[in-house]
Structure 1
Amino acid sequence: MPRHHLRRTTALALLATVPTTLAAQETVLLDTLFQTLGKRDLQLGTPVTSTVVDATEISDRQAGTIGELIDSVPGVTLINGSTPQGSGINIRGWGANGTFGNDQKIAVVVDGARVGSEELYRLGSQLFTDPFLYREVEVFRGTIGSFEYGSGIVGGVVRLETKDASDFTDGEIGFRLGQTLQFSSNGNGAVSSTTLTWQPTERAEFLANYTIRKQDDMQNGEGDEIGNSSVDQPSWLAKARFTFGDDDAHSLTFSTTSSVNDESDVPQNEFASVSDLFGRVDRRRETQQASLRYGFNPGNDLINLTADLTYARESIDQTYLEGSSAFQDNPFFGPQIRALADADHNYTTTTFALKNRALFETGVWSHNLLVGAELQCRVREENELNSRASAPGGIDNRFALVLIDEMTNGGWTVTPALRFETSDVTSDDAGDFYNEALMGGLGLAYEWDNGFSVFASYAYTEGLAPIDDIDTPDRMEQSEKSETYEIGAGFGNEAVFMPGDNLSVRLNLYHMTTWDITSYTQPGSVTNLLDNVEQRGAELEASYGLENGLYFDLNANFVDGEENYAGGGSGDWRNIPADTTRLTIGKRWDEMLDLSWEVVAVGEAPRFSTGEESDPYTLNNLRATYVPQSGVFEDFEVRLGIENAFDIDYRSNLATKDGPGRNVKLSISKVF
């Protein structure tokens, strides 16, 4: 194709009812990707606002957490994102905050399994996993791309795909060994990631990865220690894939991951750098995920069947350290502090999803019809300490039906999407609560042959009451509701200003209203009860490259929002992120060398915890990737990164800890 613009045939299949197989997901993504000359390809010709971070960018960013892989995506803001503990992901002002690691309005999905979705007081995100396990991360922003993953998703979805054996074997028979060593100056960090793959036949492949990450406490730009920022985390991944039957019509993929984080004598409040009234604890976290996927595609346009069985288990074991809180004997605070510090949290999520995709035509319209069903059982351990620690136990059984019909005619794409979901939440102490909701949206897109495209969408979703609210019966009978309008335009083409250049731009505007909110209201509170939250934002992604290897990438996010109170009055939305503009200037010399300079400008924004404005700041990040093409070091990959090169002292408006100062990172990789 002369423009490298891979024209879509299933542009909105990203709204598919249940997680598809890896091969199917890649096909859908490529249908809407415009290949740039910069670091990241852009999604064009679709109203679904999503960004893909591929394997090359994952390696180049040398991230220490999953959050650091996606913090360059417009609309994504990290809460203390440089270490797993006390951190979280915020998308369009929803998700993590300074009190909970998740508010149920963003979803994190690993190979189809929902993880890190618990509202645990002062414990941050449960997304404890290592970036070295993953080959691709995709971020959906807003609601229109989220119906595949659940109800009530206002902020967006982070979808992670684990590495495949074929990423190392390139489809060739035999064994491959991949080894990466990484070192960082701030905190004396060290990482070793070892991957062994085996492809005995063209129809079978196996992968095993073990990654160990260690780091001492980091320092901020003033040279002061950032407490509670050390890491000692082993992770592993095992994966197998088989194809069989006539024309390989059947496929079976199994993957499982595990990460463990042990901490001794650390603040119970993970959002704190030093001890506070909550005292200190010994804490052990363990996160496990397993996914079994079956695909059947006999070559019939009416049958493309996929079935997914996933399981996620997350546990947090804590022991309070006696005498660590000055308030432990206080008659009011003491019992609550002990409950928070001694509570052990164990929860599992099991999901079975089945879907079929059918391709057919009616008159001038081509249809891509997806129909599916999903069963999910989420269990959180019930005990007195958990309830007193604002994490009551129970069982949440859900059933969902989804129907998506993508209709195309020439440059037009019209896609209605519907999701019907029921929820049955039970607890031995609180009883049984049943809720149901019908939600959906409509996406429109038009694309001209010259590379211009326009799009618009409307989406409505309801967040059915979670286990977290089961101790408050009034909340269990009320769903949180939201609607989002989006409109935008894109462009992608070659030879725009001169022969051999490449330009792509995507601008997205959105307006979102959320009401019947219970997530940010304390039980029994009678002041500042939220009536609704209104948000407006703009997200820009652009890339321009020249034939000589020079490229410019621009990502920007501008957002405004206010919360309105039931008793009258309003204020800035408490989780509003700061406006951010990120410019990368780079130069490539074929496949051997890539040098880039990234400038991140962050504006001031209201800080809810203090009522004051956060200070604006600018970060400078330098990166170099060197891959020798001949000689004794052929195919070695050497990466050097200098983050916060000018060692400035900063803290984002949503963070509770200072950001790290200058950090020099060096990594060496080789596949044998």
Structure 2
Amino acid sequence: MTTRLHARALLLCSAALLTCTSATAQEALTLDAISVDSKREVQTGTATAETVVDGEEIADRQAGTVAELVDSAPGVNLINGGSPVGSGINIRGFGANGTYGTDQKVGIFVGGATKGSEELYRIGTQLFTDPLLYREAVVKRGMGGTFEYGSGYFGGLILLEPIHASDLTMGEEGFKLRQTLQFGTNGDGIASSTTAGFQQGNLEILGNFTYRTEGVQVDGAGNDRTTNGYDLPSWLINGRLTFGEADEHQLSLMLSHTQTDETDVPYDSFGTSGGVFGNVDRQTDDKTAVLRYDYDAPDNDFVNLRLELSYSDQQIDQQYVEGSSPYAPVGGYPTTNADHRYQTTKLLAKNTGYLTTGAIDHTLTFGAEFLHRERLDAASAPGGTDKRFAIFASDEIDFRNGLTITPEMRFETQEIGGDSYGTYTNDALMGGVSARYEFGSTGFAVLGGVWYNENLPIIDDLGTPAYMTQPETAMNYEAGIAYDGANLLSEGDALAVKLVGYVTNVRDVTSYSGVEAVDLKGLELEAAYSLASGYYVDLNANVARGTENPGSSTETYWDGIPADQLRVSLGRKWGEELDLSWEVAADARMTRASTETDGSVVHNLRATYRPQAGILEGSEFRFGVENLFDLDYTPHLATRAAPGRNIKFTLTTTF
């Protein structure tokens, strides 16, 4: 009750800010943009915790899965890397854990389509896709900036933006072909990605086919991490047409398809053997379609409309391999023969308007969303439908004196039910406010925010009526500082730093057995420094603490908390031609958990060579060594040892 009262007061304050039309503004400050020439740009200009992995870093990391791509952001941890089925993503203690691949508190969006599924027991992340299909991955940590996308994202969300034809053609008319070949020694991994882009006038068409295959990887001790490898074919079609006298209209269509086919593998994708459940034949199929229309009124800054229809179809078919478990009954357990399917259709309408009221500039985003999710009735889990309607709004209010305040809201209604389970209705009003103040031309800024969120019941809980009218609630508080500066130690150097501290309190918990409340707190640091000579340093760190059932007789550590981590990259660039770097990821020993984990220090090397002239111009050669010293270790939160040394080589050529 206290949480809801605090939330109501918070939302009333946000509403007042949304209607604010006047304030005393000082003289506007115009500062030159500062750019740190390193691996990753620190998002010092935002009030919320956000990390952007751009196309260059996606290629540089040579990741085999999307999970391996984003786990370098502070507060983001990979649980069991190495395969698209066995790995999961954890943000600020939420998301994947040792039991489920997701807990519904981390959102994933592909080109605008809502991905994800319910709490599939002992099966990893439901993000079955290839990282080579994307031009950008945005990680939002915490609740700030998430209400435009959905409810219940206590940990945060990941936005994946597919590649476009203009990424190949660079805006020029004609046809371009890009071929990428990738090799990895650990598991004999091979990937081939063929991308064709065509641009004629205002028409762009792109097609991509990626085939990735990998055998059995070994850990640092030389032990097999799995019993079988995997094949992952993926394709993507992305088209866009711009038209109108002022190019004010834009129509785009994105289609993608990814599938895996695994034979005689452990049902428990978190484990390394069949165990109690035994083995299964598992086929995974993921389809995504997004149809989008944009209208940018040429004579009205307030009208920037987007209409979007998206469809996501995720299917997992499993069949027990007879005799693979000495414990399972004939035919296997219900879980080992469960076929899962999730079909999510979403219709979105939103507008982003720019306006000035007195001495204040507004960037006002508002819209409505209808979502229909259907889950197949499985042998081990209930099927049903989850229908939601939501309206949302946010207003970035710039007072032109260094202060920016952004209130945001979301109101969502739900009708959820299934055969033999009845129908339930819920609604929730959520929102919050963030603020950032920049101190003139000093480069320093302070930032912070407070948000209230609710996680509405899910289809998987239909078998527990008490949960179906009990949304999980959470409050999130953040405060931090940021700095951008140049010419500090030498002419041409640049530094960007962002430090964010957070507290998250979750109540009315239904997602975890025996847990009623969770309290989390942590610090996240991102920094980048570069010299005019080409040397650079990237650094991020994460320190988190968590408690479940705080203040009760059953109070204990929250097992979803990752180990304290420091990640540092040292490198040098020679213009656009050569980039060499050495990355160190150090995890502290973890004792604040039911299962303790030893500390580890892992070294990775990366090199990128782009010839700027001659017959090889237009090609890129990438070389990397992951886990250079073949360390045998198991990251905290993981249930299997990490991969051992893996030497990777990637060749990309554009014709």
2:654 maps to which residue? Answer: 671
Secondary structure at the aligned position of 2:517 is classed as: strand
1:618 maps to which residue? Answer: 601
* Residue 337 of structure 2 corresponds to residue 338 of structure 1: no
1:435 maps to which residue? Answer: 426
Note the C-alpha offset of 1:607. Answer: 7.7
For residues 153-196 of structure 1, give each alpha carbon's deviation from its aligned partner in whole angstroms, at most 9, with x where no partner exists.
Answer: 11111100000100101111111110000100001111110011
Note the C-alpha offset of 1:328. Answer: 2.1
Q: Distance in 1 between matches of 2:619 and 2:360?
A: 50
2:205 maps to which residue? Answer: 206
1:499 maps to which residue? Answer: 491
1:393 maps to which residue? Answer: 383
Superposed, 1:78-477 pairs within 5 Å as 78-201=78-201, 203-228=202-227, 230-299=229-298, 300-329=300-329, 337-383=332-378, 385=379, 389=380, 391-410=381-400, 411-448=402-439, 449-477=441-469
Secondary structure at the aligned position of 1:67 is classed as: helix
Q: Distance in 2 between matches of 1:158 and 1:588?
A: 29
Q: Distance in 1 between matches of 2:74 and 2:363?
A: 29
Q: Distance in 1 between matches of 2:235 and 2:501?
A: 40
**Aligned AA for 1:501?**
D
Note the C-alpha offset of 1:47. Answer: 1.5
2:26 maps to which residue? Answer: none
**5+ residue gaps in structure 2?**
1-17, 19-30
Secondary structure at the aligned position of 1:248 is classed as: coil
Aligned pairs, how many?
A: 623
| 8 Å contact from structure 1 (residues 107, 117) kept in 2 | no
**5+ residue gaps in structure 1?**
1-16, 18-30, 522-528
| 8 Å contact from structure 2 (residues 569, 583) kept in 1 | yes
Note the C-alpha offset of 1:262. Answer: 0.2
Q: Distance in 1 between matches of 2:255 and 2:365?
A: 27
| 8 Å contact from structure 2 (residues 234, 257) kept in 1 | yes
For residues 353-398 of structure 1, give each alpha carbon's deviation from its aligned partner in whole angstroms, at most 9, with x where no partner exists.
Answer: 1011222222222222221000000000125x1xxx2x31100000
Q: Distance in 1 between matches of 2:200 and 2:480?
A: 48
Q: Relative to 1, partners in 2 of residues 1:612 and 1:268: Cα closer, same or farther, differing over 3 Å?
A: closer
Query: Which residue of 509, 518, 531 corresponds with 2:516?
Result: 531
For residues 123-155 of structure 1, give each alpha carbon's deviation from its aligned partner in whole angstroms, at most 9, with x where no partner exists.
Answer: 111111101101100000000121121111111
| 8 Å contact from structure 2 (residues 225, 272) kept in 1 | yes
Q: Relative to 1, partners in 2 of residues 1:566 and 1:278: Cα closer, same or farther, differing over 3 Å?
A: farther
**Aligned AA for 1:562?**
T
Q: Distance in 1 between matches of 2:223 and 2:99?
A: 24
| 8 Å contact from structure 1 (residues 87, 271) kept in 2 | yes
**Aligned AA for 2:417?**
T
| 8 Å contact from structure 1 (residues 45, 454) kept in 2 | no
Secondary structure at the aligned position of 1:242 is classed as: strand
| 8 Å contact from structure 1 (residues 210, 235) kept in 2 | yes
Secondary structure at the aligned position of 1:167 is classed as: helix
Q: Distance in 2 between matches of 1:83 and 1:598?
A: 22
Q: Distance in 1 between matches of 2:530 and 2:634?
A: 33
Note the C-alpha offset of 1:409. Answer: 0.8
1:604 maps to which residue? Answer: 589
Q: Distance in 1 between matches of 2:213 and 2:48?
A: 38
| 8 Å contact from structure 1 (residues 303, 357) kept in 2 | yes
**Aligned AA for 2:203?**
A
* Residue 488 of structure 2 corresponds to residue 489 of structure 1: no
For residues 423-449 of structure 1, give each alpha carbon's deviation from its aligned partner in whole angstroms, at most 9, with x where no partner exists.
Answer: 100211101000000010011111132
Note the C-alpha offset of 1:117. Answer: 3.1
| 8 Å contact from structure 1 (residues 79, 654) kept in 2 | yes
| 8 Å contact from structure 1 (residues 32, 45) kept in 2 | no
| 8 Å contact from structure 2 (residues 48, 448) kept in 1 | no
RMSD of aligned residue pairs (Cα, Å)? 1.6
Q: Distance in 1 between matches of 2:101 and 2:581?
A: 33
**Aligned AA for 2:111?**
D
Secondary structure at the aligned position of 2:246 is classed as: helix
Secondary structure at the aligned position of 1:510 is classed as: strand
Note the C-alpha offset of 1:606. Answer: 4.2
| 8 Å contact from structure 1 (residues 458, 486) kept in 2 | yes
**Aligned AA for 1:174?**
G
Query: Which residue of 503, 506, 520 corresponds with 1:514?
Result: 506
**Aligned AA for 1:230?**
G
Q: Distance in 2 between matches of 1:34 and 1:648?
A: 38
**Aligned AA for 1:239?**
N
| 8 Å contact from structure 1 (residues 32, 43) kept in 2 | no
Note the C-alpha offset of 1:32. Answer: 13
Q: Relative to 1, partners in 2 of residues 1:585 and 1:565: Cα closer, same or farther, differing over 3 Å?
A: closer
